[in-house]
Structure 1
Amino acid sequence: MTPHPLTWLYVPGDRPSVVAKALAAGADVVVVDLEDAVAPDRKEYARAATAELLSEPRPDVHVRVNALDTPWAADDLRTLAPLPGLSGLRLPKVTSAKEVTAVAEQTGGLPLYALLETALGVERAFAIASAHPAVHGIALGEADLRADLGVREDAGLDWSRSRVVVAARAAGLAPPAQSVHPDIRDLDALAVSCAHGRALGFLGRAAIHPRQLPVIESAFLPTGREIEEAETIVKAAVAEEGAQALADGRFVDAAVVAAARRTLSLVRRT
């Protein structure tokens, strides 16, 4: 997987031709969805098609399995977890650390990403994030969370967003990716939403259409000015052989240097 994935493209598992297109769309991670995007009478077909896809090694393909309390989840895990083409599992509607631990014990250390989509899941964000070494990330499922909370305005989700960002950091995980932006036509609104998410501490975003990918990547990549400032800070720290250095008249401590290094780590080299 790329060191810092910025784009996570969801694609329905029961549409192999669409999955094939998604694999060539340029997303950092393709997420084959067996849950919300697949009707109940198509679950078994979607699982079988996904198993065929993952029967050989592939870079950066995840699967969102069905919720753990559904009749399909056990077969999803048993069938897909051993396959060589699977890089990670996304677990929807997680509400407890116990659920994640149980999956981790079944799947032999496969990277797990817990999706928090209810008030209870958000309240237990840190416990879930730190439940097991196999947990590589947490994120919100905002459509379900919005319904659970009865939130009408987007700002009503900001506390939950910050809660997940803090929990991920406290657990030593990468910053979470933002939830999907459902309007695939309004790319300007997507860009504004991404800028807001970045300000809250998110890194990258899930997408539901390839046309959203360039907007998301542009929003989360550092700007030229940010790169220049980060390079100045790191060079000053190195020159002083420590974190306490002066860069352009500003005092730079270890935390500032670490942030600058994180910024430079996001630069996409060609």
Structure 2
Amino acid sequence: MPVKISPYALGATLYMPAIRHDILEIIHGEKLSGLKSMVICFEDALAESQLEEAFENFTQLATQIKLSIKKPLVFIRPRNFDIAIRLIKHCDLSKIDGMVLPKFTLDSLPIWQEILEDTHLYWLPTLETQDVFSYLEMQKLADSLSTFKDKNKILALRIGGNDLMSVLGLRRPRDMTIYDTPLGYVIKMLVAVFGSTGFALTAPVCELIENLDILELELKSDIAHGLVGKTAIHPNQIPIIQDAWKVKASEFAEAQAIMNAQKAVFQMDGAMCEPATHTTWARNLLERYGAYGLLPNKVQEFMTKHN
């Protein structure tokens, strides 16, 4: 088994094509300091003609990765089964944390299990195919994963927003969050199905690079739905995404009180707290605090800035 990693450690997950020549600098923190996770992509980010260049680039950089506590989590996303097998057989993946599994379905589960069973790699299966719109199909997948022998290797399930919108022949309007589109229903359904069986889910990308107001609004819904991280496609999105998962001091105090409660029910800040039903929320929030810390005190921040 790989070293236990919290799904909250994912933060903003930045995608980059495997042909980029600054990947090693990003891994070592020389660029984009503070990045929590990244995906080196052999799939959508590359044309077929670029694959060999990508393999050559990745093969070289994989041997040069230095282990560091500051290193972001590093995942690779293969194009298909054959590319995944080639990466495992011919590349040094000892310092790679996991693999993003594209177009993940119930039918592909046993194939991925066979490919990855002798590796240390965490799984990030991506839900992005037509059957994701079916509650019945997702329940079947959740049931299978809940009894899957390597389920502890599944760090989180990714919601592939753009691919799912493509299935519908739609694109997100520029003035709306993803929750204002048909995917709002899909996200709620996936949270109900997979969240209730103990699996973490990450939020779809916000492709509106310049409209950071929409990103901030969308992040509030991501967190309200219990999602644990979000794909980023531009460096400007990274600090906004990671700040959004910081914990409010009031919620932190409430979570601590629930975990340490001696009473079955008590009141705090005008709300009822019931450890029997709120303990899972409190445990998750404290895990999130461990990854991100507290939101800054706005009053103290203002005073420090103006003194």
Shorter-normalised TM-score: what interval?
0.7 to 0.9
Find the aligned partners of 1:43 and 1:197 in 2 and give their Cα distance: 34
Correspondence for 1:92 among 102, 107, 115 = 102
* Map 1:123-202 → 2, pairs under 5 A: 123=134, 124-129=137-142, 130-131=144-145, 132=148, 133=150, 134-152=153-171, 154=178, 155-174=181-200, 176-202=201-227
Give the Å deviation of 1:254.
1.9
C-alpha deviations, 1:30-79, integer Å up to 9, x for none? 111111111211112212322332235644210111134xx644423433
Q: Check the 8 A contact 1:100/1:114 in 2, yes or no.
A: no
Find the aligned partners of 1:120 and 1:79 in 2 and give their Cα distance: 33
Correspondence for 1:37 among 31, 45, 49 = 45
Find the aligned partners of 1:29 and 1:205 in 2 and give their Cα distance: 10
Specify every segment of 5 or more residues in structure 1 that has no aligned partner in the other structure, as ranges: none
How many residue pairs end up in the alignment? 260
Give the Å deviation of 1:186.
1.8
Match of 2:283 in 1: 261
- Larger relative contact order (Cα-Cα within 8 Å, sequence gap ≥ 6): 2
Give the Å deviation of 1:157.
0.6
RMSD (Å), alpha carbons: 2.6
Give the Å deviation of 1:135.
3.0
* Map 1:48-87 → 2, pairs under 5 A: 48-55=56-63, 56=65, 58=67, 59=71, 60-68=73-81, 72-80=83-91, 83-87=93-97
Find the aligned partners of 2:25 and 2:133 in 1 and give their Cα distance: 34
| 1:106 is the counterpart of 2:128 | no
Find the aligned partners of 1:177 and 1:211 in 2 and give their Cα distance: 19
Find the aligned partners of 2:122 and 2:61 in 1 and give their Cα distance: 19
Give the Å deviation of 1:247.
3.6
Give the Å deviation of 1:29.
1.2
Matched letter for residue 106 of structure 1:
I
C-alpha deviations, 1:179-213, integer Å up to 9, x for none? 11112222221111111222223122111122211
Specify every segment of 5 or more residues in structure 2 that has no aligned partner in the other structure, as ranges: 173-177, 295-307
Deviates further, 260-269 or 209-218: 260-269
Q: Check the 8 A contact 1:116/1:125 in 2, yes or no.
A: no
Normalised TM-score (structure 1): 0.84
Give the Å deviation of 1:143.
1.0
Correspondence for 1:218 among 243, 250, 253 = 243
Matched letter for residue 52 of structure 2:
E
Matched letter for residue 110 of structure 2:
T
C-alpha deviations, 1:85-104, integer Å up to 9, x for none? 1111001112x223122122
C-alpha deviations, 1:221-253, integer Å up to 9, x for none? 222222232233333x1xx1xx72424373513
Find the aligned partners of 1:223 and 1:193 in 2 and give their Cα distance: 18
* Map 1:228-239 → 2, pairs under 5 A: 228-235=253-260, 237=261
Match of 2:264 in 1: 244
Give the Å deviation of 1:18.
4.6
Normalised TM-score (structure 2): 0.75
Matched letter for residue 195 of structure 2:
R
1:263 counterpart SS class: helix
